[in-house]
Amino acid sequence: MESVLFGSILAVSRQDLVTIGVVALLVTALVVGFWSKLAYATFDRELAALSGVPVRFLDYLLLALTALVTVVAVKTVGVALVSAFVVIPAAAARLLGRRLGSVAMIAVAIGAGCSAVGLLLSYHLDVASGATIILTLGAVFGGAMALRRA
């Protein structure tokens, strides 16, 4: 039960890594392929629909990709932490970036960087890795909030 709630990132098998890699490639390819239409439909649905952008299809695509990433992430970080892992890098990046493209790149960098730092900290402190990664993300978010206010 504990592994479902909090995951076990250190017990990820080779098969899990392959699955994560395939999902990452698929999601990246679809997001890059539909980037301009996704941005358009996200920020001005009515104008995008009037311009011929398939807004409903993009909504379903984004929901499906989010569900796919969530299902794959549950194995590694657990149900309790997956939402924080999805939301915190994006929220911190939003505080630091100005344009959508830079916010997306900052979010990826924050997520990857905090994952690496959190894993290293959890190893050296001998504590749960998933929770340490989320705490590291939380610290970065707090730093982003402090920078934003300064």
Contacts of the segment 39-48: beta carbons below 8 A, 24+ positions apart: 39/100
pTM: 0.79
pLDDT one-digit tens code per residue, 115-137: 999 989 998 998 878 788 889 99
For position 21, what pLDDT does the model report? 92
Region 22-43 average pLDDT: 91
User: What sections of 7-99 are H helices per DSSP?
Assistant: 14-33, 35-43, 45-50, 55-77, 79-96
1 pLDDT higher than 70:
no
- CA-CA distance, 41 to 88, in Å (whole number)? 23
- CA-CA distance, 96 to 101, in Å (whole number)? 12
Sign of CA dihedral 43, 63, 18, 14: positive
Average pLDDT for the chain: 88
- CA-CA distance, 111 to 6, in Å (whole number)? 18
Whether the Cβ atoms of residue 114 and residue 129 lie closer than 8 Å to each other: no
pLDDT one-digit tens code per residue, 52-80: 999 999 999 999 998 999 888 887 777 77
- CA-CA distance, 126 to 79, in Å (whole number)? 22
Residue 75: what residue type? Answer: K
